[in-house]
Amino acid sequence: MLNGSLKLSLLECGCNVNDISIKLDGGASWLYQGLIDAFEGKIGSAVENAVSKKIRDAIIKLDLQLQSLPKEAPITNFAELNVTFVDDPELSESSLDLEVDGLFSAKHEAALSNHYHRLLQASSSCKEADKMVKISLQENVMKSASSVYFEANKMHWIVDKVPDQSLLNTAGWRFIIPQLYKMYPNHDMNLNLSVSSPPILNVEKQQIKAKIPLDVVIDVLDVEEVIPVACISTVISASVSPGISGNALTGYVKLNDITMSLKWSKIGDLHMNLVQMLMSTTLRTVVLPYVNLKLSKGFQIPVFHGYGLQDAHILCTDSWIVICSDVAPVKQFNLI
């Protein structure tokens, strides 16, 4: 391995022809047969040299191809995956073990590499012995993805439509926040949701625990002006059940707990118990279904030289996500 790329070097190469036999039939074959017998040693030596040269040339060609493998795999227009190798390959009787960095980074930015080498327990191995590949993802891969998406400002949503649209009018809040209705009677509102720091993710058995710090800003729509009137600091604790569909990672989020506190307000003190009840309903009925809809569509796993996953299974264990799968040409998926 050299600078994150695989390097193949030929230590020794030789070809030994123990015996060579060439027989000619017909015509003047007796004459040519004598010449061939006379030069049998030189013919054998030429074969040895030719075979050795072919092997050396093949090793050099393969080494150049290994050196040309990409070190980054694009994921989105702002994120990429570090696929540099972090250890020498390990070859066994039935498998080839390759370890890559696997951390996400913003495009055109160097990522800080951390190598988390650890042997997985037998319980986390693929049960299907005939699966072609096993991909093991350490939880820091997800943490790096979370950080990149956060820095790219992709964890921001504006809620302007809910099943009960009266909740997005100050009249619907007049008993919960009377001052809001008094200052802005019958004004439409929206909720501006922004993740305030990268979510904390931990992989446990059969699930991923997530703690998401969220700022919820209440905006009042006054003619063509958007007026922020209060900000509620929120921490959401959730469980994520990961899945895999085709060549995409999917998931489903279950809400475990919500805590809220007033960060700032232009409309006086708020009755946070009542606000939390209303906000919790909004998160459960609007935000969570939206997130689960996005997760159901999945995040594409990078295709490697035209090949993707097929009939894949996923499981979680302590700090690791393991994917067991066959592989097939990507074009084949489009025909199904």
pTM of the model: 0.73
157-189 residue pLDDT tens = 898 988 888 889 999 989 889 999 999 999 999
Taking the C-alpha atoms of residue 94 and residue 124, their distance in angstroms, rounded to an integer, is: 18
Q: In what order do the strands lie in the sheet with 104-106?
A: 72-74, 79-82, 104-106
DSSP letter, residue 303 = P
Strand 189-195 and strand 307-317: pairing?
Answer: unpaired
Classify domain 79-300 by CATH architecture: Super Roll (3.15)
80-96 residue pLDDT tens = 989 888 888 888 887 88
Q: Where are the alpha helices (DSSP H) in the chain?
A: 29-38, 40-67, 139-151, 178-183, 272-282, 288-297, 330-334
pLDDT average, residue stretch 17-44 = 74
What per-residue confidence (pLDDT) applies to 335?
41
pLDDT average, residue stretch 201-221 = 94
Cα torsion 293, 295, 298, 302: sign:
positive
Residue extents of the structural domains in the chain = 29-67, 79-300
pLDDT average, residue stretch 58-76 = 88
Residue 157 vs residues 13, 176, 194, 233: alpha-carbon distances, Å: 62, 24, 7, 15
Instruction: List 257's β-bridge partners, or say none.
Output: 237
92-134 residue pLDDT tens = 887 888 888 889 999 877 555 555 554 454 445 566 557 888 8
268-283 residue pLDDT tens = 988 899 888 888 887 8
What's the token pair of residue 169? Answer: 């009018």
pLDDT tier, 336 (very low <50, low <70, confident <90, very high otherwise): very low
Residue 170 vs residues 53, 83, 194, 207: alpha-carbon distances, Å: 82, 51, 21, 39
